Chain A
Amino acid sequence: MSLVLKDIRKSFKGDLVLDGLSLEVPTGKTLVLFGPSGAGKTVLLRLIAGVIEPDEGEISISGRNMSGVEPEDRGIGMAFQNFALFPHMSAHDNIASPLTAQKQTKSTIQSGVQSLARLLKIEHVLGHKPKELSNGQKQRTALARALAGKPDVLLLDDPLRNVDAKLRFEMRLELPRLIKDQQATVIYVTQDYKEAMAFGDEIAVINGGQVQQVGSPAQIYLSPANTDIARLFGDPVINLLDVTPKAGASGPHVLVSDQIVPLPENHLGDVDRACVLGLRPEALRFVGADSQGAIPVTVETEAPLNEKTVTLAVTARGREIMLSRPAGTPGPSTGPAHIGINARAALLFDRATGALIPAQDTKIEGKVA
């Protein structure tokens, strides 16, 4: 039940929406499609669902080429961003729809709908028409309908987009388990990086109709393919500083506020290249003035968030830098201070293309919060 997309091309009225996109999702895994709106995520889901056909390329599910296979024969369940409930049918009939299509017996349908409704806590509104449901109930009904047919491939198009914050929070906790229980191959579309990190076995970042990077959440976070992706994943946003690597006695390094930040050896080839240094806010910490490589800054403001405290500091050169530390750990909230850089977590990008310049010895490990 693996899903393979090969060289998919699709344009609408001359606008190329998908430009030779390839992806592979192993059976039972969840792939998060992440990208800005207009990146072609929804179009991609519709192509997989078979409601539109690609101009070029091949889609196969479990090795079976889907070209010319009608949507109803693809074994797919899909939840739409705008729910797309059938307005003239009750929630019950909406959820039952895939089961009636499979010509299940009345009692099977009944028990199927009931168990899903119980799971999603919408038993009490099964008799209601969609317009009598709250947004949260609509969303759960749509989800139940997508799951009801026990599809091999589950497509979830930003299902939490149109629900309120509280419900989104709840669903973020519930949904991953629910999805795992289905044992389906899942594609989950979102524009929210936290959802992407929480749900995906793998994340595919797409933009401009192409896959920019595929990898585990940790890979995407720790070695983003380019500055765009680096910026998209992470809150607060990664610090990006223009730098030019130099060769020194201790190896390649860059200067940040006249302080040496060492780079891995293999960056020796990048000396004098125009680069961008990426520093995650949590790779920075406040240090004593006498510690090695300490950069003097002025702390402008501090914003305590739930689980972390974010500080905005300005270097002597006027560069703004964001730091993040776990809530409760001490640190200055205003005035002069010094920061130290965890050089191993620094990322180097090419300034012209924005592409990551990989450090060969960097091993990707560890979890991401």
Chain B
Amino acid sequence: MQSVSTLERILRGTAISLVIFFFMFPIFWIFLMSFQTNETILRVPPSMVFEPTLTNYRSLISGTLEGSTATLEIRFMSNLYNSLFLSVTSVTVGLLLGVPAAYAFAKLKFRGSEDIAFTLLSFRFAPPLLVLLPLTIYFQKIGLADTYLGLIWVYQLIVLPLILWIVRGYFEDIPSDIEYAHRIAGHGFWSTFTKIALPLAGPGIAAAGLLAFIFAWNNFIFALVLASADKQPVTVGALAFITASGINYGQIAAGIMLSIAPTFALALYAQRYLVEGLSLGAVKG
């Protein structure tokens, strides 16, 4: 590029600082808040000087909140557990269903394959309530209402298209000759699928799984519509916090921190694949 003037450097530096500030401050502030008691949080003007305490985390983990008026039970840990359970099982189911299908779409072109793939994709973009509202009524009838099974089923709406389209791309990248060579060497179809296709698409499958986990974890609307309190994940459960009487703001903040930590960690781990996952395989990072 052309020579960089001092003015431009200053402008660039300022712009980047502002950007970092805007996007990082909320996380930073809530992080601080999670180590404060209501007393320091409610100070005006707000200050970053305080004596950090772990009581918020401790009471969330123990399940009893020392409110200002009374002690109350809070199900945060069970929400966290629900999030974990729903995400892990949804992704596992999604991988079990999606990976073979992705292989079929990628390698065995067959009649209707594109139609199925696109129906799944287009519903990724349809309003979720459109499917959810009739499902609530169906689920009542067939006894899936407020069950983990029903939720895991619905989570496939977001998990399956993601896995299908990303993993499909990785399968397509495997040269057919390599699979042919394995068949000709005397191995059957399934052996070639498990010994050649799966290992070679391994990184893609792992990335799709991690991203699907993040999306499932962050989902709000499915559980809001379909789950009662004891099946709710943190996204829905945390919202109930703020209306709960006698709760400490520091505890809400601690709850938020605990809820976003897993996705942050996974995102850092899978960052190489994030672009690809977020664009459903359209853009490689």
Contact = CB atoms under 8 A, between A and B. Distances in A.
Interface of A: 46, 49-51, 70-72, 74, 76-78, 80, 82, 84-88, 97-98, 101-102, 145, 148-149
Given A84-B175, A101-B187, 7 more contacts: A49-B184, A51-B183, A70-B183, A78-B184, A86-B196, A101-B185, A145-B185
Given A86-B196, A87-B200, A88-B199, A80 B181 contact: yes
A51 B183 CA distance: 8
A88 B200 contact: yes
Interface string B177-210: 1101111111111010000100110000000000
Given A84-B175, A97-B187, A149-B186, A78 B200 contact: no
A239 B283 CA distance: 55
B192 to A, nearest CB: 9
A71 B187 CA distance: 8
A130 to B, nearest CB: 10
Contact of B175 (A77, A82, A145): A82
Closest 3 CB pairs of A and B: A101-B186, A84-B177, A71-B183
Contacts of B186: 72, 97-98, 101-102, 149
A330 to B, nearest CB: 52
B183 to A, nearest CB: 4
Nearest to A49: B184
Contacts of B178: 84-87
Contacts, number: 65
Interface string B144-184: 00000000000000000000000000000001111011111
Interface of B: 175-178, 180-189, 191, 196, 199-200
A176 to B, nearest CB: 22
B180 A71 contact: yes
A84 B183 contact: no
B200 A51 contact: no
B251 to A, nearest CB: 49
Most A Cβ at <10 Å: residue of B183, B191, B200? B183
B232 to A, nearest CB: 42
Contacts of A76: 184
Nearest to A148: B185
Contacts of A145: 181, 185
Contacts of B188: 70, 72
B199 A77 contact: no
Nearest to B176: A51
Contacts of A102: 186
Given A87-B200, A97-B182, A80 B177 contact: yes
A94 to B, nearest CB: 9
A84 B180 contact: yes
A84 B181 contact: yes
Contacts of A97: 182, 185-187
B175 A149 contact: no
Contacts of B185: 72, 77, 97-98, 101, 145, 148-149
Contacts of A77: 184-185
B188 to A, nearest CB: 6
B106 to A, nearest CB: 16
Nearest to A95: B185
B183 A72 contact: yes
A222 B200 CA distance: 50
B197 to A, nearest CB: 11
Contacts of B184: 49-51, 71-72, 74, 76-78
Contacts of A87: 178, 200
Centre residue among B182, B184, B199, B200 by max chain A CB count within 10 A: B184
| A72, A74, A85 pick with most chain B CB within 10 angstroms | A72
A82 B177 CA distance: 8
Contacts of A86: 178, 181-182, 196
A78 B179 CA distance: 12
Contacts of A88: 199-200
A149 B176 CA distance: 21
B194 to A, nearest CB: 12
A152 to B, nearest CB: 12
Contacts of A78: 180-181, 184
A101 B189 CA distance: 12
A76 B180 CA distance: 12
A149 B186 CA distance: 8
B117 to A, nearest CB: 20
A4 B73 CA distance: 80
B180 A46 contact: yes
Nearest to B183: A71
A71 B182 CA distance: 9
30 contacts: A49-B184, A50-B184, A51-B176, A51-B180, A70-B183, A70-B189, A72-B183, A72-B184, A72-B186, A72-B187, A72-B188, A76-B184, A80-B180, A84-B177, A84-B178, A84-B180, A84-B181, A85-B178, A85-B181, A86-B178, A87-B200, A88-B199, A97-B186, A98-B186, A101-B187, A101-B191, A145-B181, A148-B185, A149-B185, A149-B186
Nearest to A74: B184
Nearest to B178: A84
A61 to B, nearest CB: 13
A234 B187 CA distance: 42
B269 to A, nearest CB: 22
A72 B183 CA distance: 5
A87 B195 CA distance: 11
